[in-house]
């Protein structure tokens, strides 16, 4: 790494957050607007994925295609989001944040509009791939902008605040999609997503200033990009945080993929009960994220918060595996739901801490680092998704086994690669206050 001194993360509980309290009211109002804009950018992918879910049966019938073919529209969109981050992240380090973000949003609007007029499943699959590639710009650049604007405790709190917005999106997206289908057909879902993309692009264009000054941008082409990626991955601690975040997200994605079958097919719950439980779990994730940002950050070291979150994830996954394997005899829905709630809520500790600790090490390449964080989570999440159904839809053991495996691998990555006890007390030379460039 070219800047190891700036990379060494300390126990952040000792950092005093300065500047935010003294910031003028105008700056605080601007920060709120920036929060909403960045939250909207991070919400675009879950909206694009989940708002479309209730329409899958309609798409299958309207395009006269098998269900397996139509499901590829989800897979290709997810793959596009993973690949797009690897493309847009380094671009934002070279050309700044605004131009790649605006270009990505314009392409997202066009791709989404084309989805609305697709005449066949093959065209829809292609347009969804393009939609995912372009929509990735919002995720990766939002994280990079946070790194440009904030440091230390302030950055950790900001990521927790973003979770309030991005965590609600997967909950409300299927509900919005269902209401749209009451008024129109599946194409209307993409019309609404197009309108959302237009509105968000206009706000970004008018209100989000450039956050990466020319002096901090990278020169060079593909070779320089690859060298930057190589240097980032050569940092053992950064790579450890990348793996921690990826495995934790895979455990969460295993829950998202398997829970409809576990809750409804195995435990006999109605779709309404499943929706209620899913909403409660999502609220738990958001609530713990806010507790983390408001109460823990600045008082407890980020590595301690992350370690606690990972331990809770592993504990919840262990209990789910024991219950689903029948170790405690027949169990009802309530104990399983409690285990799933703890697993999902613990992500409110893991995700903001992982992003903060990884990006603290990479102020010189926040876009590329954000791309590696995002791509790894999407790739491992897409791997975990099919594994949960490997033994059919009548047992929850595969889901719990995947979750426990991912939780253990996340813990091993944290303890074996991040080794926070070796870095305690070392200074990373960063200031803690919120920067007020916007």
3-state secondary structure 245-290: HHHHHHHHHHHHHHHHHHHHHHCCCCHHHHHHHHHHHHHHHHHHHH
The highest-confidence range among 15-24, 55-64, 168-177, 198-207, by mean pLDDT, is 198-207
d(CA 160, CA 147): 14
Mean pLDDT of 309-334: 91
d(CA 107, CA 80): 13
What is the number of helices (H) and of strands (E) in the chain? Answer: 16, 0
- 97 neighbors 210 (Cβ within 8 angstroms): yes
The confidence band for 242, taking pLDDT boundaries of 50, 70 and 90, is: very high
d(CA 361, CA 363): 6
pLDDT beyond 70 at 220: no
User: Residue 17 gets which letter from DSSP?
Assistant: P
User: What pLDDT digit, counting tens, does each position of 62-81 carry?
Assistant: 888 887 788 788 778 888 88
Position 143 scores a pLDDT of 85
Position 161 scores a pLDDT of 78
Mean pLDDT of 55-65: 84
d(CA 432, CA 23): 14
What sign does the dihedral 300-303-307-309 (CA atoms) show?
positive
Backbone angles phi, psi at 270, to 5 degrees: -80, 160
Please count the CA atoms within 13 angstroms of the CA of 5 that sit on its side-chain side: 2
- 18 neighbors 432 (Cβ within 8 angstroms): yes
Position 413 scores a pLDDT of 95
User: What pLDDT digit, counting tens, does each position of 349-387 carry?
Assistant: 998 899 889 988 887 788 888 888 888 888 887 777 777
User: What pLDDT digit, counting tens, does each position of 397-411 carry?
Assistant: 888 999 999 999 999
- 169 neighbors 50 (Cβ within 8 angstroms): yes
Position 149 scores a pLDDT of 84
The highest-confidence range among 224-228, 250-254, 350-354, by mean pLDDT, is 350-354
pLDDT beyond 90 at 172: no
Position 134 scores a pLDDT of 94
Question: 230: buried, middle or exposed (CB in 10 Å: 19+, 13-18, 0-12)?
Answer: exposed
Smallest CA-to-CA distance from 435 within 127, 68, 145, 111 is with 145
Three-class secondary structure of residue 145 per DSSP: helix
Smallest CA-to-CA distance from 5 within 387, 363, 354, 374 is with 363
Smallest CA-to-CA distance from 410 within 192, 212, 241 is with 241
pLDDT greater at residue 382 or residue 134: 134
Distance of CA 51 to the CA centre of its chain: 17
Lowest mean pLDDT among 165-174, 175-184, 328-337: 165-174
pLDDT beyond 80 at 393: no
Residues comprising the chain, all counted: 438
- Mention every residue, 6+ apart, whose C-beta is less than 8 A from residue 20: 154, 433, 434
Lowest mean pLDDT among 270-279, 396-405, 408-417, 427-436: 427-436
The confidence band for 31, taking pLDDT boundaries of 50, 70 and 90, is: low
Mean pLDDT of 260-277: 78
- 18 neighbors 154 (Cβ within 8 angstroms): no
Helix (H) or strand (E) holding 95: helix 67-95
The confidence band for 261, taking pLDDT boundaries of 50, 70 and 90, is: confident
Token pair of 336, please? Answer: 């399983």
Token pair 């300065």 is at which residue?
A: 18
Domains of the chain (ranges, CATH numbers): 34-210 (1.20.1250.20), 223-423 (1.20.1250.20)
pLDDT greater at residue 211 or residue 243: 243
- 395 neighbors 266 (Cβ within 8 angstroms): yes
pLDDT beyond 50 at 4: no
């Amino acid at each position: 790494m070219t800047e190891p001194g700036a990379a060494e993360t300390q126990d952040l509980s000792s950092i005093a957050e300065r500047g935010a309290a003294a910031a003028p009211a105008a700056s605080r109002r601007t920060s709120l607007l920036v929060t909403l804009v960045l939250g909207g950018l991070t919400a675009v992918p879950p909206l694009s994925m989940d708002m479309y879910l209730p329409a899958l049966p309609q798409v299958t019938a309207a395009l006269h295609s098998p269900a397996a073919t139509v499901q590829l529209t989800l897979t290709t969109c997810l793959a596009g989001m993973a690949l797009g981050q690897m493309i847009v992240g380094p671009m934002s380090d070279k050309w700044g944040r605004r131009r790649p973000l605006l270009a990505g949003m314009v392409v997202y609007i066009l791709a989404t509009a084309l989805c609305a007029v697709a005449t066949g499943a093959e065209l829809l699959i292609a347009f969804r791939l393009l939609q995912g590639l372009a929509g990735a710009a919002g995720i990766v650049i939002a994280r990079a902008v946070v790194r440009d604007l904030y440091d230390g405790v302030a950055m950790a709190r900001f990521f927790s605040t973003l979770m309030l917005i991005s965590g609600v999106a997967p909950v409300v997206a299927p509900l919005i999609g269902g209401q749209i289908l009451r008024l129109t057909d599946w194409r209307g879902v993409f019309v609404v997503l197009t309108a959302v993309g237009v509105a968000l692009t206009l706000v970004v264009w008018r209100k989000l200033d450039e956050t990466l000054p020319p002096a901090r941008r990278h020169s060079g082409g593909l070779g320089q990009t690859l060298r930057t990626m190589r240097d980032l991955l050569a940092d053992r601690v950064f790579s450890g945080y990348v793996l921690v975040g990826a495995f934790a997200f895979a455990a969460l994605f295993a829950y998202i993929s398997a829970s409809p079958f576990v809750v409804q097919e195995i435990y006999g719950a109605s779709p309404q009960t499943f929706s209620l439980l899913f909403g409660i779990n999502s609220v738990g994730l958001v609530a713990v994220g806010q507790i983390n940002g408001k109460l823990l950050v600045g008082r407890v070291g980020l590595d301690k918060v992350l370690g606690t979150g990972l331990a809770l994830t592993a504990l919840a996954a262990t209990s789910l595996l024991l219950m689903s394997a029948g170790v405690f005899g027949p169990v009802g829905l309530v104990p399983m739901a409690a285990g799933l709630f703890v697993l999902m809520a613990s992500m409110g500790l893991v995700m903001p801490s992982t992003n903060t600790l990884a990006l603290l090490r990479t102020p010189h390449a926040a876009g590329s680092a954000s791309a590696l964080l995002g791509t790894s989570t999407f790739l491992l999440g897409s791997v975990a998704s099919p594994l949960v159904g490997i033994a059919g839809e009548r047992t929850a053991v595969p889901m719990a086994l995947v979750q426990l495996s991912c939780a253990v691998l996340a813990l091993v990555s944290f303890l074996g690669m991040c080794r926070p006890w070796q870095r305690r007390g070392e200074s990373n030379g960063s200031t803690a206050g919120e920067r007020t460039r916007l």
